[in-house]
Amino acid sequence: MVWDVSFTCDICGKKKGEANHWWMVMLGDVPCFDQGQPSHRFTLLPWNMAESRNPDIYHLCGQSCAMTAMERFMTHGSIESELAAHSRR
Ligand SMILES: [Zn+2]
């Protein structure tokens, strides 16, 4: 089987291989939230080939990166590190 698209973990930068158990994370809006509370929700999804090309989705290579992503999300409301967020824009 040939991978036509190569995916990279949005946390550690590892390349996706065939045998890896990858996950995807999507940030959505919270319909109601209190002042000062996070306005996004963190959704963890199993890897899905069709959705993996969605630009709004983050790719995670495994449990430890999923934990890191959630930690970042809970700390500053974003999955990308401060550095990555700056270099992307
Ligand atoms: Zn990773």
- Model confidence pLDDT, tens digit, residues 58-86: 999 999 999 999 999 999 888 987 655 55
Cα gap 48→35, rounded to integer Å: 35
CB 26 within 8 A of CB 53: no
Ligand 1 centroid to residue 12 C-alpha, Å? 4
Ligand 1 centroid to residue 22 C-alpha, Å? 9
Ligand 1 centroid to residue 36 C-alpha, Å? 30
Ligand 1 centroid to residue 35 C-alpha, Å? 33
% of the chain exceeding 70 in pLDDT: 83
Provide the phi-psi class of 86: left if phi over 0, else alpha when psi is between -120 and 50, else beta: alpha
Cα gap 43→22, rounded to integer Å: 14
